[in-house]
Structure formats: structure tokens, C-alpha cells
């Protein structure tokens, strides 16, 4: 009971002036049992102060960044927003040049006119949400009666629902919970003029890099700041020089009081996805096939990049964002498997399925509806195991491998485009050709061709070893035979001769009139012809069709049956995360990670000095930071002569929660969630009591970096800080 209540994802209702989980909770239950439990842990707020349909509650200060890739919070009346450094990493990287490397040196706008607009950046506020399950069910029944469902069936359903609420002046989004057992309509307001305000150097924001990733203790200053701008009349607007800082409906008060063990914490944000209703069969596939392939192939990719990054600062800047984006899940896949094994998660799901099958067979109607579901799922995953492994190796090695192979696919696409247009010859006067050339030159400029050549060699070896010849295109087989099966020689031939592997060759190629045959004769085309997912999907479809199995349907039935069983048994349940707003609450505390190993819940600046290493990029810090830490001038942000950096809480978070506000019982900001611990890596599938922790940057360290290190006191003055 403690786990399900204390570490509960909570969704908000607009039908009341309170909030509740959409499963077991009655409309006003939070006002009673759930709120009482939260209050007993230290919550001082009333339900209406957390969510309120009339506005002015904490949730009005919480935003989804870029559609839910990360979460953030508003911390001043002038639209100042804080999130994680790793959420801003791509933006900082895009602004960086060898001469002005904001990634390495940090960026601080010392006045509003210095704040930098980020093209394509958006933040979204949840304005309200309502239960539309009954309406959606009737619409689905009506459409089903009219004919078979098409590919975009739920888009049609969503369009009808949104039409009925067209008088409400917000964006709408229909979300299902428990595979269609419940439906909710969300009302959002999105601002698309978002400007970078401040970010520490990567040696603060990502201190410890991959070595510390998913680990504890950590010492990251994982934060960055943006500002949300609106039109002069306060409305959401695209970027304009005339825009003004958004007048926040609600912003969080910042607490510099610090945290202590067992303090109440809650996290409000936009978790992306969990799979707490995953079957043992699906998890076994992930454990035995998907995670090993992903962690193995991607690690090889990262090793190639790292070799070139360590050898050149220029190359490091080129690949920094790409490396960062891939490394996170590469490590996650490894640690997830270790935790699945350590905590016997597959066995626990199998036990749950024994209980589920007994419940199903105890009722004739349930038996008719779900009786063969588990058996069918088992058969389906057994049948498709081999093709799943082959397809995953294909995806990781070729589709997600060398970047110039992806560009080669675009090059090949020109053949289809020109053929459809009835053109055998072309010049740069053709718009499609000019566009491709521009994209190709940009792609070449944003990579190290020699690094990509070596990566291609590594990836082709995976492909040749793991993917049967029956899946190769004949053109690729012929090209490979030309070099006696030597894939390194094949790679060198392509990179030495292809139009798209050299800016000079590309420019010369398009400098004169060309034919479709000129494209088809490029050696990279013989490689990309072998890249197509359809043949793998067709093989799987064929195998399942022969066995008369539909795992997608059975997976949906599995979740719905689990939901129905738990409802009938009166269990407290919550839906999987799906990038809609959720709340989780817990407590500050350490962790007994394994036998004889206990980790304290706080880290300090001393740990940065202990870890710093000028010969290791991940632990290299700038001289001015080292001097400031050694000087120990913590100003208002230290406690008893100590500057705290990160802390642990047992809030239940996942991807998308990055940057989420960690809030105390008074509703004040005390930190930002930025990571999980390695012992929690099975958490997206199965929550293990006592081991799932949220790794948070202490807001006191953030304030010290902004104030004492960066000298951006004007940002401190914007905030409402309590001591």
C-alpha cells in the first residue's frame, strides 16, 4: 500500500477543484485519503493549491518542453524557466562555435537583450483536462458500425472529440490510459518564443559524464535557464523582436533552506513512457534480444566517436551532441538488464500472469474474452524471436549507423523523385536537386568523414555477421563480391569514390547537367539498396499470419485485463506514463545499494574536488571553478560551511521527467530531477520498493553557480527566494 500511494503517478481532473488518479480514486478522494497521506509525510498545501481549474496553482508553473522531451518550471514573474542542462544541451551545442564554445565555457545573458532565441523551441502549459471516456466509447462504437478501422482510426476519433470542444480556445490532445480503458482530453497552451538565458559550462552541467551516468554519488550542476516570451498583449507568439517576457500566471518560490532525511518531496512533470503493464514475454524479448543488441552496437559506435573526439577539440564539438544523445540509452539498456536479472523481474511478471489467468478463468465471460490471451502472447513472441533479433541488428548497424549511409538514402530518393517527374536529366535549377545538395553539404560539414568511414566499417561487420544473406539486396552482394567479401575494402571504395562523401566531389557532380543513371552508378547506392525495413516486417507478418496470431491485439487485451482485475480487487492502480502531466511524491533519503554498501542522500562540493581530473575530459573542471570551490565562498547558499550539490529522493520518475521541479511540502522549489540510480533501472517495467531513487540537483548549488560563479546576480534578483 505504501508503494502505490507514496510513489503514485497522479493525473488531474477538471471536473473538480482537486486532483486524483483516474483508476481507483473517486473524484474527491484526494481531499481525503490521498491528501491525508501526503499531509502525514509533510505536505502543507491544500489540493487546490496544487491544481486548480481556475488557475494560480503549482501546476500552472510546470511546463512540457518541446512537446514533452523534458519538463521545466517557471521561477519568476517574467517567464524565467529552469530545466536540466542536458535538456538544453542541443541548443547550447547549436550556438557553439570553435571561437565561442558555449558548451565548454557556458553562456550567460547579462541583460534581456542578450537572451538568444532558439528556433523550434517550445514550452507547453496544461490548462485543464477532462474525462471523455463515455464520449469516446460512443464515437468508437459508431465508427466501428460504419466499417472497418483504418490506419488513422484514432486520429478520426480525436478529431471528432476536439470538434465538440472547439469553443475552448486551447490546443487539444486526446490520450488513452490502460490501452483504451479510459480516455482524457487535455487542453494546452504553447509558447514558441523561448530564449536561452543561462547555462553553466559542460564541466559543471555534465560533470562526471558517462562514468557517473545513472550512478550515485553524482556531482552535476545539471541546470539551464530559458525565458518564455509572449506577444505584447500576452498571447503565445512566434519569435518577434516586439515580444515581451511572458507574465507568469504562477511561478515557483525557491527555497534555499536545504533538505534533510525524510523531508517530503513531490515532482510534477511530464514523464514520457513507462511499461508497468508489460507482459513477461515482452520483457523477456527486451532482456534477451533488444537490450543486448542496443547496448552492444551503440557502445561500438560511441567508441569510434570517442576515439576521434579525444584526438581533436574540433571533432569533439562536432560530435558532442550526437554522442550525448546516444550514450544515455546505451547505458540504460545495460543497467536495465542487470536490474531485471538482479530483482527477478521476469519471474515476478510470470507470477502476476498466473494470478491473472486464474482471475480470467473464474468467469465465463472473461474466459471467452481473454482465455487464450496469455497462451497466444507466448506463442507470438516465440515465433518472432529470430526475426526480431535480425531486424534489430539491421536497424542498429545500418539504419542508425554511419551518417553518410543515411545521406545515401536521400540520394537514392532522388531517383524516385525524378522518375515520377519523368526527368532523365537534371540540374541545380530543379528545386529537389538544389535542396538535396544543400542538405548534403550541411551533413558533410557536421561530421568527420574519417570518423564516419571507420564507423561504417564497424557497422558493416555487425550487419554481415548478424543479418542473413537472404536479406541483402543483390547489388550489395555484387559489390561485396567485388572485394572478395572484405568489408573494409568495400567501405574504403565507397568513401573514396562516392559523390556524397566529399564536398568537393559533390560540388563537381552538381556543377553540370546529370542523369538519373549518374546517381544510380554511385557506389553508395549499392549499399542503401539493401536498407529497407519492409522485408523484415513482411517476414514477421508472414510468420504470425500462418500461426493466426496478432500480438498487438493480445498486448492491448493484456493491459485491459490487468486493469479490470485490479479494479475488481480494489487495488490502487495508475496508468503508464504517456507524456501527460503526472505527480509523484516521496521522501529524501539514501539507499542501501547492496550488501555492506550504503549511500548518503547528499553530495557536496568536496566530491567535485575529489573527482576532478585534468587528464579525464569527463572530470575536467575549469581553473576558475576549481579556484572558487577551493576558496569556499558559498555566500548565502552554503549551510554550516558546506555547499551541497545533489540529493536523492524516492520520487518515481522516468524519461521526460528530466528538468522536473522537486518541490517541498510548502510548494517551494528545492531541486531539479535529472537522473535515476542504477539500482532503479528496471523501474520502467517494475517498481522495486526501496531501490528506485530520483537523483536531483540541489537548488542551493544552482543558486551558487548563478550568483557566485557566473556573476549573474540579476537572475537571482528575479526570483522569490526564501531562507
Question: Grid coordinates 532482456 are at which residue?
Answer: 287
DSSP one-letter code for 709: I
Closest CA to 306 of 676, 616, 620: 616
Provide the 3-class DSSP secondary structure of residue 176: strand
Spell out the SS3 assignment of 643-705.
Answer: CEEEEEECCCCCCCCCCCEEECCCCCEEEEEEEECHHHCCCCCCCCCCCCCEEEEEHHHHHHH
Q: Residue 86 catalytic?
A: yes
DSSP one-letter code for 225: E
Q: Is the peptide bond before 217 cis (omega within 30 degrees of 0)?
A: yes
Any idea of the CA torsion for 363, 368, 370, 374, to the nearest 10 degrees? 100
Closest CA to 639 of 208, 84, 255: 255
Round to whole Å and give the CA distance between 502 and 408: 12
Q: Residue 541 catalytic?
A: no
> Quick one: angle between helices 291-311 and 449-466, nearest 10?
160
- Phi/psi for 553 (5° steps) reads -65, -45
Q: Residue 222 catalytic?
A: yes
Find the distance separating the first CA and the last CA of the chain, reported in whole Å.
Answer: 35
Contacts of 702 (CB under 8 A, 6+ apart): 82, 221, 223, 672
Closest CA to 637 of 698, 590, 717: 698
Question: Grid coordinates 547555462 are at which residue?
Answer: 199
Q: Where are the alpha helices (DSSP H) in 395-448?
A: 403-420, 431-445
**Catalytic site residue from 71, 181, 658, 694:** 658
Question: Grid coordinates 544523445 are at which residue?
Answer: 325
Chain centroid, CA 424 distance in Å: 44
Pairing verdict, β 182-191 and 264-269: unpaired
Question: Grid coordinates 486493469 are at which residue?
Answer: 563
Cβ contact 651:268 at 8 Å: no
CA angle 579, 582, 585 (to 5 degrees): 140
**Catalytic site residue from 35, 85, 86, 219:** 86
User: Grid coordinates in use for 337?
Assistant: 538488464
Round to whole Å and give the CA distance between 690 and 580: 26
- Give the DSSP H/E element, type plus range, for residue 175: strand 171-177
Contacts of 178 (CB under 8 A, 6+ apart): 23, 277, 559, 560, 562, 563, 575, 576
User: Grid coordinates in use for 139?
Assistant: 464515437
- Give the DSSP H/E element, type plus range, for residue 72: strand 70-74
Round to whole Å and give the CA distance between 38 and 536: 50
User: Grid coordinates in use for 209?
Assistant: 559524464
DSSP letters of 590-647? -EEEETTEEE-SEEEHHHHHHH--TT-GGG---HHHHHHHHHT--GGG-BTTB-EEEE
User: Grid coordinates in use for 437?
Assistant: 545538395
User: Grid coordinates in use for 415?
Assistant: 531517383
**Catalytic site residue from 60, 222, 448, 698:** 222
- Phi/psi for 696 (5° steps) reads -125, 145
Which active-site residues does the annotation give? 86, 222, 658
Amino acid at each position: 500500500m505504501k508503494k502505490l500511494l507514496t510513489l503514485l503517478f497522479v493525473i488531474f481532473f477538471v471536473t473538480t477543484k482537486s486532483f486524483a488518479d483516474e483508476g481507483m480514486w473517486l473524484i474527491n478522494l484526494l481531499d481525503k485519503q490521498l491528501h491525508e497521506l501526503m499531509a502525514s509525510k509533510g505536505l502543507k498545501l491544500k489540493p487546490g493549491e496544487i491544481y486548480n481549474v481556475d488557475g494560480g496553482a503549482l501546476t500552472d508553473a510546470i511546463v512540457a518542453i518541446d512537446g514533452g522531451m523534458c519538463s521545466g518550471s517557471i521561477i519568476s514573474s517574467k517567464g524565467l524557466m529552469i530545466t536540466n542542462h542536458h535538456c538544453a544541451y542541443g541548443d547550447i551545442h547549436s550556438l557553439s562555435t570553435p571561437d565561442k564554445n558555449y558548451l565548454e565555457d557556458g553562456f550567460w545573458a547579462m541583460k534581456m537583450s542578450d537572451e538568444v532565441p532558439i528556433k523550434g523551441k517550445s514550452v507547453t502549459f496544461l490548462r485543464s483536462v477532462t474525462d471523455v471516456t463515455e464520449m469516446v466509447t460512443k464515437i468508437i462504437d459508431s465508427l466501428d458500425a460504419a466499417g472497418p478501422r483504418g490506419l488513422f482510426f484514432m486520429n478520426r476519433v480525436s478529431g471528432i472529440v476536439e470538434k465538440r470542444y472547439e469553443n475552448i480556445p486551447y490546443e487539444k490532445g486526446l490520450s488513452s490510459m490502460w490501452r483504451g480503458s479510459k480516455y482524457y482530453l487535455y487542453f494546452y497552451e504553447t509558447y514558441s518564443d523561448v530564449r536561452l538565458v543561462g547555462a553553466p559550462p559542460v564541466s559543471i552541467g555534465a560533470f562526471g559524464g558517462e562514468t557517473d551516468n545513472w550512478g550515485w554519488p553524482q556531482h552535476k550542476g545539471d541546470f539551464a535557464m530559458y525565458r518564455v516570451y509572449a506577444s505584447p498583449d500576452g498571447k503565445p507568439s512566434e519569435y518577434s523582436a516586439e515580444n515581451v517576457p511572458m507574465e507568469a500566471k504562477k511561478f515557483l518560490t525557491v527555497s534555499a533552506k536545504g533538505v534533510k532525511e525524510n523531508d517530503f518531496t513531490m515532482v510534477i512533470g511530464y514523464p514520457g513512457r513507462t511499461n508497468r503493464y508489460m507482459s513477461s514475454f515482452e520483457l523477456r524479448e527486451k532482456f534477451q534480444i533488444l537490450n543486448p543488441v542496443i547496448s552492444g552496437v551503440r557502445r561500438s559506435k560511441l567508441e569510434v566517436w570517442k576515439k576521434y573526439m579525444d584526438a581533436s577539440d574540433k571533432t569533439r564539438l562536432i560530435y558532442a551532441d550526437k554522442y550525448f544523445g546516444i550514450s544515455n540509452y546505451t547505458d540504460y539498456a545495460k543497467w536495465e538488464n542487470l536490474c531485471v536479472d538482479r530483482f527477478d523481474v521476469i519471474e515476478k511478471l510470470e507470477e502476476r500472469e498466473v494470478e491473472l489467468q486464474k482471475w480470467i478463468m473464474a468467469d465465463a465471460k472473461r474466459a471467452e474474452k481473454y482465455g487464450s490471451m496469455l497462451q497466444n502472447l507466448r506463442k507470438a513472441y516465440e515465433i518472432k524471436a529470430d526475426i526480431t533479433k535480425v531486424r534489430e541488428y539491421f536497424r542498429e548497424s545500418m539504419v542508425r549507423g554511419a551518417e553518410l549511409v543515411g545521406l545515401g538514402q536521400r540520394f537514392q530518393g532522388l531517383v524516385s523523385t525524378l522518375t515520377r517527374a519523368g526527368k532523365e536529366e537534371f540540374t541545380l535549377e530543379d528545386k529537389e536537386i538544389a535542396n538535396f545538395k544543400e542538405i548534403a553539404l550541411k551533413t558533410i560539414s557536421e561530421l568527420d568523414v574519417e570518423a564516419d568511414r571507420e564507423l561504417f566499417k564497424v557497422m558493416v561487420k555487425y550487419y554481415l555477421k548478424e543479418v542473413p544473406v537472404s536479406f541483402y539486396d543483390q547489388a550489395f552482394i555484387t559489390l561485396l563480391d567485388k572485394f572478395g567479401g572484405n568489408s573494409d575494402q568495400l567501405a574504403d571504395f565507397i568513401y573514396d569514390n562516392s559523390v556524397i562523401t566529399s564536398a568537393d566531389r559533390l560540388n563537381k557532380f552538381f556543377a553540370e547537367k546529370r542523369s538519373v543513371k549518374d546517381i544510380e552508378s554511385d557506389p553508395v547506392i549499392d549499399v542503401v539498396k539493401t536498407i529497407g525495413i519492409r522485408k523484415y516486417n513482411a517476414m514477421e507478418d508472414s510468420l504470425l499470419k500462418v500461426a493466426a496470431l496478432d500480438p498487438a491485439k493480445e498486448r492491448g487485451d493484456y493491459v485491459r485485463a490487468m486493469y479490470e482485475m485490479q479494479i475488481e480487487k480494489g487495488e490502487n492502480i495508475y496508468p503508464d506514463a504517456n507524456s501527460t502531466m503526472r505527480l509523484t511524491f516521496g521522501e529524501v533519503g539514501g539507499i542501501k545499494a547492496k550488501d555492506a554498501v550504503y549511500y548518503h542522500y547528499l553530495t557536496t562540493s568536496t566530491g567535485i574536488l575529489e573527482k576532478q581530473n585534468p587528464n579525464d575530459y569527463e572530470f575536467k573542471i575549469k581553473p576558475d571553478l576549481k579556484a572558487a570551490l577551493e576558496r569556499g565562498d558559498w555566500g548565502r547558499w552554503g549551510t554550516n560551511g558546506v555547499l551541497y550539490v545533489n540529493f536523492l529522493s524516492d520520487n518515481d520518475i522516468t524519461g521526460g521527467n528530466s528538468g522536473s521541479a522537486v518541490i517541498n511540502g510548502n510548494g517551494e522549489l528545492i531541486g531539479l530531477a535529472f537522473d535515476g540510480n542504477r539500482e532503479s533501472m528496471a523501474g520502467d517495467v517494475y517498481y522495486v520498493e526501496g531501490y528506485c531513487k530520483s537523483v536531483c540537483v540541489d537548488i542551493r548549488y544552482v543558486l551558487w553557480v548563478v550568483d557566485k560563479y557566473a556573476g549573474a546576480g540579476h537572475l537571482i534578483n528575479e526570483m522569490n527566494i526564501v531562507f
